[in-house]
Structure 1
Amino acid sequence: MTQNDGDRLAEWLDGLGLADQLGAAGLPTFTRDAAGHAVWTDPERLAELERVLRSVGDEPEHAVPVGLVVLARQARLRTQLLATMWHTYESLAELRGTSVDATRFAVHKGASEHRLLVVPVDERAVVPAFQLGTDGELRPELAPVLGPLLAARMDPWRAWAWLTQPAALTLGRPPERAVVSDPALVRTAAEKLAERL
């Protein structure tokens, strides 16, 4: 591919907001030189890369690289989730009024027994706060919802998103809120989702 082809491909990916997802997808990435031209990490793979990215749909010239769209959506969702309240071992220990060691043990035990959602973030574990009461313990109404999801080894990020994002099934309410008034409905939805995993 020529420099113009590389620039065109880079512009297309930038325009879709997908350039930042290339590395996560194991694809060649690019930076810009002083003149604004795309400098690709693996330029000999660009023709193949473009074919792969445009292989979905009936009109390849207008195709959207679905895998990258999914990665970009996941990255945005993770950023949104991390903007909500969550705890480290230290902050949860303070909330519970216990030692950090006791809290770490309780968190690991809760996670291993499928009673607590723990999410890996930058090589550390965080506990999303939505699942906890004011005492720092699991909200009792969430236990029958978390259990099936975690026992099915649902990705923790996906579980966090599913539980906290509005859903049609729960009339536009996040399942973690809907469970207060419709526990059977949310529990059934969690069980059905777990069966599909």
Structure 2
Amino acid sequence: MTEEQRAALGEDLATWIESLGLEGHLTEAGLPTFRRDGEDGRARWIDPGTGGDLSLAQLRDVEQLLRSEGTEPEHAVPVSLLVLRRHARLREELLATPWHDYASLAELRGASLEATRFAVHKAASTHRLLVVPVEERSIVPAFQLSGDGEVRADLAPVLEPILAARMDPWRAWAWLTQPAGLLGGLVPERAVADPETADLVLTAAVRLAERVSAGS
């Protein structure tokens, strides 16, 4: 009976997670994962420590973790997984916008690869350039650059406070390029180019940096 309960619970959890489109975020959330084996395609939950199947007790622990949000556990949604999915989608959206690696930026600037690499590191260290880590490389979002590949003069004062506050680079990228609540829905990197809203953007960046620093 225990084996049947384990199989049934494992299948129920897997089907639920799949219906929410969250199966790809279990590992990132520090949770066990599952795969479907055999002709019947039944879900097999894997213990990340041993590589073996989770026991019924372990599956119940996983269920409790996943259903711990909300006032009605049977209808609860694993909020942590939803947040991870949202972050993953946001990163995909940001990476779909123009950006440079060292080679493409060097070509844009008409400079050597080494000179460009040095310049990027120096600008990043002085909080004048947003550099975002992507897997094992670093990229430079293009929105912050002028046509010759240099940092936009109007944007530099906005970058400095949020980068000095050690704001997460992905979060900084998103805040700068999407409608911001602190600006009544204006997009910071666009609004700063307008003399009528530039001071408002700088003030919002300073306030955001203060929040980031206070929370770190």
Instruction: State whether TM-score is above 0.5.
Output: yes
CA–CA distance in structure 1, aligned partners of residues 6 and 102 of structure 2: 52
Structure 2: 5+ residue runs without aligned partners?
Answer: 48-53
Q: What SS does structure 2 have at the residue aligned with 1:125?
A: strand
Structure-2 separation of matches of 1:31 and 1:187:
49
1:135 equivalenced with 2:145 (yes/no)? no
Query: CA RMSD for the aligned pairs?
Result: 1.2
Calculate the TM-score normalised by the size of structure 2: 0.88
User: How many Å apart are 1:31 and its aligned residue?
Assistant: 1.2
Cα shift at 1:171: 4.0
- For 1:17 and 1:173, the matched residues in 2 are separated by 31
**Alignment correspondent of 2:114:** 101
Aligned equivalent of 1:22:
26
Contact (CA 8 Å) 2:101, 2:140: kept in 1 or not?
yes
2:194 corresponds to 1:188: no
In the alignment, which residue of structure 1 is the partner of 2:127?
A: 114
User: How many residue pairs were aligned?
Assistant: 197
CA displacement, residues 15-54 of structure 1 (integer Å, 9 cap, x when unaligned): 1111111001110011111422111112232211110111
Q: 2:87 aligns with which of 69, 74, 80?
A: 74
Q: What per-residue deviation string (whole Å, max 9, x for no partner) do you get for residues 159-187 of structure 1?
A: 01111112244343321111112111111
SS of 1:141's equivalent in the other structure is coil
Normalised by the length of structure 1, the TM-score is 0.96
- Unpaired runs of 5+ residues, structure 1, are none
SS in 2 for 1:40: strand
Q: What corresponds to 1:124 in structure 2?
A: 137
- SS of 2:147's partner is coil
2:7 aligns with: 3
Determine if the alignment matches structure 1 residue 177 to structure 2 residue 181: no
